[in-house]
Chains A and B, each alone.
Chain A
């Protein structure tokens, strides 16, 4: 589905992603783990076209997308839930969801999708007239994910969905991530600092250190890898 080849990007004269290559297959959950500042968010922002790609190629189903604008990339079915959720605080829950469907032209299916995300997160339906900014952290994460789902992604990029949330909520959210992956056959690219959690739901994983991929493999093999256990799992 998605393939990165020697991608470099960054900000000003900082190179945050230093030539990484990775591959996401149809229908799988892959995870990119790494410490704070490793360049995980930058990788996702580069895929979405929000941070420009400096060199290398990004291929979506074989087609180069690295020079497209962010809106064109969303239209191709790659939708991101940015780190820190970025919901619209002064718009109601429902209006937030509606912004997710901004570039869709099929109102009837949008309505179905709205029902679908409300069935995934019933709490959002209860809160639908409340301003996004007044939701709790967990609810905001649910809203951010739902809003992305309203764009009907084929590939969903999730940037640290567990950030700042209570363990119980994290568990709920990760269950739903798996559900989304299975039910609507959405490929998921999950970025996490919480490596243990991420590797438990993912099929495969990559480890990013200082803008470079150091280890990759099946989630199972990574969970057993001694270096990773020491560095990221605290075991």
Chain B
């Protein structure tokens, strides 16, 4: 079952890990008593742990390869395909959606406000993920500065409230629109670039926005951020903190449903098809008369729109924002949600957001090893499921039927 070769490689890997982790795991300098502790037991743990993990990893890899080797028509009933089939049958799809919605609706009644609040954050990332999915998943434009639009939304609310006392409900669409305008402004010069170049420029843009917010004190209150941002109101009723958080949670559910509805519509629209076509072959698109620039700009600004909306909600939820909430790592997390969930797939993005936002929370029992475990899980997921948790389900083509019916009716 386990070959000698695998044992040998695992042994070397454990040696390598011991070497890598030696300074942090074994040596401890006690700066008060000025002594050095040598924790040799830790070295043993690392060695054994790495050895076993490596063996498991190798075993899984071998199984996976074996699977894809005899992946004929027969084995296409694997779980991936099963999920696909479920999602394409409307009845099953509705049942899945129904169950998810019910679970989401009863959650605050069952769990604590703390849990609900974490869930709200996860839902916020669902919206962000769905927005970025338009840009990266559908249009194939690698945007590493997506967080900038999120910041634009958040600061729109914070500052419009701060300077003009404008309310959440008025700013919500404004924040989205302003972010979309920023999307267009950035898009015009940048979208001529492709692939890696586009990624680098958007990365730079993300940092520029953050640096402006950090350094333009009179405008954005600098690094100390904006505080005392009001939560969304509900016909002017005063709410306790708990109720307010639960209220935001339900608002968030509504936003997520709205976003899914719109993104789904977009995906199957003429524009959505143009995005996919543009991702596949630019020359062909030009030869077919698709306006490359306009189509890309539409993807960029629509993606930015959702980030702006999410930003406004974020500001209202946390009541305090500062440039530190909008660092590159945020862009990276949102991108991971899209990639991990399955590019171009709505359900995938939802699950991706849940995994990426909730997992670190529920790994808290691992205390300082939390992020280590998180990283390891991500690596494993990408190795074993590179297409994402749920790869995009392509809608079956219905155009012809409709047209035929149309033609016969006439």
Residue positions of A touching B, CB distance < 8 A: 48-50, 69-71, 73-75, 79-82, 86-92, 94-95, 98-100, 102-103, 107-108, 110-111, 114, 128-129, 147-148, 151
Which residues of chain A are near B404, meaning CB under 8 Å? 111
Q: A71-B290, A102-B290, A128-B400 are in contact. List 12 more A-B contacts (CB 8 A).
A: A69-B293, A70-B292, A71-B292, A74-B288, A82-B283, A87-B281, A88-B277, A88-B281, A94-B397, A98-B399, A108-B410, A129-B397
Which residues of chain A are near B277, meaning CB under 8 Å? 88, 91, 99, 102
Chain A, Cβ-Cβ closest to B403 = A111
Contact B280 A82 (CB under 8 A): no
Which residues of chain B are near A88, meaning CB under 8 Å? 276-277, 280-281, 284
A102 to B286, CA, bound (A): 11
B242 at interface (Cβ–Cβ under 8 A)?
Answer: no
B30 at interface (Cβ–Cβ under 8 A)?
Answer: no
Select which of B290, B397, B407 is within 8 A of A103 by beta carbon. B290
A74 to B291, CA, bound (A): 10
20 CB < 8 A contacts A-B: A69-B291, A69-B293, A70-B287, A71-B289, A71-B290, A75-B289, A79-B287, A79-B288, A86-B283, A87-B281, A87-B284, A88-B276, A88-B280, A94-B397, A98-B399, A102-B277, A103-B288, A108-B403, A108-B406, A111-B406
The A-B contact count (CB < 8 A) is 94
Which residues of chain A are near B63, meaning CB under 8 Å? none
Contact A89 B280 (CB under 8 A): yes
Which residues of chain B are near A111, meaning CB under 8 Å? 403-404, 406-407
Q: Decide if the interface of chain B is mainly helix, strand, loop or mixed.
A: helix
A74 to B290, CA, bound (A): 9
Give the 10 A-B CB pairs with smallest separation, nearest first: A74-B289, A86-B284, A70-B286, A71-B291, A103-B289, A80-B287, A88-B280, A71-B289, A111-B403, A50-B286
CB contact list, B389-410 vs A, under 8 A: 397, 399-400, 403-404, 406-407, 410
Contact B407 A108 (CB under 8 A): yes
Contact A74 B287 (CB under 8 A): yes
B346 at interface (Cβ–Cβ under 8 A)?
Answer: no
CB contact list, B283-307 vs A, under 8 A: 283-293
Select which of B280, B288, B400 is within 8 A of A100 by beta carbon. B288
Contact B287 A86 (CB under 8 A): yes
Question: Within the complex, what minimum Cβ distance (angstroms) separates B183 from chain A?
Answer: 21
A151 to B404, CA, bound (A): 19
